[in-house]
Homo-oligomer: A and B are copies of this chain.
Amino acid sequence: MQHASKNQHPCGKCAFYSGSIWQPVAGDAVSVLTRGFTRNDLQEGQSLYQQGAESNGVFCVSKGLIALRTHHEDGSSTLLRLAYPGDVIGYRAFLGNRPHQTEAIALLPSRVCTVARRGANQIILANPDVLARLAERCIDEIDNNHAQIIASATTSNRQRLKNLMLFLMEKHGEPVSSGFQMHLPLSRSDLADLLGVQPETLSRLIGRLECDNFFTIKGRKVLMAGLAPQSMKSA
């Protein structure tokens, strides 16, 4: 019956099915899940939800890249996090039953699956395993936050940019004859927001890394020469 239920499960064909927070849903609840379930394709730049908007469910990134950003009173903004396929977003507003504190915008053409609020609530009440998986995601988020707080307190901006570029190369890069290459999914301002520095500073940091032959960058084309696949993980 495992097979039959996986076929009926709306996430059954998803690459992230086994790790999905909805994977424990079975039996009659599957139909509730299916009713609340929608798939959404987002164009680059399109918004999934706005800061301050009411929560209308829980989102799961299936393809692409979503940026979570908060706008401050003074007009500036901070890019808090990048959400990759398999990541669950929007659960804070859902669990806390309150407006979104961040806005979600697609940085690449993306696909996002939504489980509407009503159905999600119903399912969680009936199936605690779903809540347990959601709690695990919260823990992961806390871990990431702590890592970020520690990094910004103990690591130079230059090193943090290096780490960020290596991370992005790992996610978006392709091997070419002379190393690895990627199309940078972020603008300079986004990179600056992510590191918590001004755009001018970011520009200079990039300049310095280029001087060090860490990479070559022109527009959004980034090339890291002499980068062996395994060395991406280490630094």
Contact = CB atoms under 8 A, between A and B. Distances in A.
Interface stretch (A1-9, A10-18, A130-138): A130-138
Interface stretch (A23-31, A149-157, A170-178, A224-232): A149-157
A72 interface: yes
Contacts of A78: 149-150, 153-154
Nearest to A91: B139
A80 B149 contact: yes
A91 to B, nearest CB: 8
Nearest to A131: B131
A181 interface: no
Contacts of A145: 142, 145-146, 149
Contacts of A142: 92, 138, 141-142, 145
B138 A139 contact: yes
Contacts of A143: 92, 101
Given A128-B131, A149-B80, A92 B139 contact: yes
Interface of A: 70, 72, 74, 76, 78, 80, 92, 95-96, 101, 125, 128, 131-132, 134-136, 138-139, 141-143, 145-146, 148-150, 152-154, 193, 196
